[in-house]
Amino acid sequence: MSSENYETNPAEVIPPERDPRGGNAQRHGILSEHVPPAEREAYAAHVQAVRQSSGARGYLQERLADRIALAMWRLDRVARYEAAVSAAEQRSALQGIEEQKEYGPAGAVTKAYTRLHMMVGESAYHLRKDPALSEDQAARHEEAARQLDALADGGSGEGLEVNAAFMVAHLLTEQLQRLKVKPAAIVQALTGRKPKAGEVEYIEANDWEYEPEELPGLVRLWRTRLDDHMSGALLRSLAGGERLKAQAVRDAQREAVEVHTDALSLAALPGPKELEKVTRYEAHLERVLYRALHELEAVQRRGEGQDTPGPLRGIVDAGGLYGGGSE
């Protein structure tokens, strides 16, 4: 067998070079390699919609429409990226708030609710979950203020609701001790009898559980130790203090809610460096989009026989634009 039988025509082994335009669909169009496989079906419908709505006809117009479609798709991807980053950061912030972390945006929330806790007494966790707890405490301070004003006007302290009676009795007891009234006398005024073992210590430690029926006796002791003028002035001063406490609780609650909202808003944005990159990328895509839109419009106008003036060229410096004109 001759050696000629083993020779092969190179043209049969090496396929002819593909027309570069043949790969345009894979590189830029409906099957673009710039689009992940999972997105390509939706992207194909997107490209067809852009071609149809733009009225693209022929190879050049379709290529420009495809470029518009790709720029729009990538801009949408930037928006989805920003939304995903925001959601992830907000989830992280919420987790930090739940864990009462003491740094970053979550730390600001923890500190705000801790301040509120010091005023109200409820845990920071429950105050954050139920804003009504703060308002309830503010309302108690206001009710105590009204009852103190009533005592200043000659009231007896009888018939008060449990919380109001407790707060008024607690305030009167504190003031009586400052006036050097002995705890034993306070116990006797509250109960109508001599103190039992340990009761004086409860008064000294501010641990007495005041009952509504004990308040009138305490009021009588108050009036025996202070003249009418001093009694009325001090009671109204105490009432003013309770109103200030009510306002402080509401202010602290409002601040805590605002700090919580701000923490989530801060978490909704990427960091400064990441934000700068995203902003630059988004601006680049918008330039690509509008350039392609303008080019498509110009091609279509030429195809319809309409005049399409050339681009305006000029030089921009501190003095403005000069030397321009159409070409």
β-strands 312-317, 320-326: how paired?
Answer: antiparallel
Count of all residues that appear for the chain in the document: 327
Give the distance, in angstroms, between the CA of residue 180 and the centroid of all CA atoms in the same chain: 51
- Using CB atoms within 10 Å of the CB of residue 82, give its burial: 0 to 12 exposed, 13 to 18 middle, 19+ buried: middle
Residues 6 or more apart whose Cβ sits within 8 Å of residue 182: none
Q: For residue 37, what pLDDT band results from cuts at 50, 70 and 90?
A: confident
* Cα–Cα nearest to 259, from 127, 152, 105, 120: 105
pTM tops 0.75: no
For residue 314, pLDDT beyond 50: no
Give the integer Cα–Cα distance in Å for 238 and 172. Answer: 9
Give the integer Cα–Cα distance in Å for 122 and 103. Answer: 22
Give the model's pLDDT for residue 271. Answer: 75
* Cα–Cα nearest to 184, from 171, 197, 172: 197
Q: Read off the amino acid at residue 260.
A: H
pLDDT in tens, 54-102: 999 999 999 999 999 999 999 998 888 888 888 888 888 888 888 888 8
Q: Which residue has the higher pLDDT, 264 or 114?
A: 114
Say if residues 138 and 116 touch (Cβ distance below 8 Å). Answer: no
Q: For residue 309, what pLDDT band results from cuts at 50, 70 and 90?
A: low
Give the model's pLDDT for residue 12. Answer: 43
Q: Which two tokens stand for residue 238?
A: 């105490």
Q: What is the domain partition of the chain in residue ranges?
A: 23-98+270-326, 123-267
Say if residues 250 and 156 touch (Cβ distance below 8 Å). Answer: no
Give the model's pLDDT for residue 114. Answer: 94
For residue 281, pLDDT beyond 80: yes
User: Which of 2-16, 221-235, 241-255, 272-286 is the least confident region?
Assistant: 2-16
Query: For residue 279, how many C-alpha atoms fall within 13 Å in the half-sphere facing its CB?
Result: 8
Element (H, E) at 216: helix 215-225
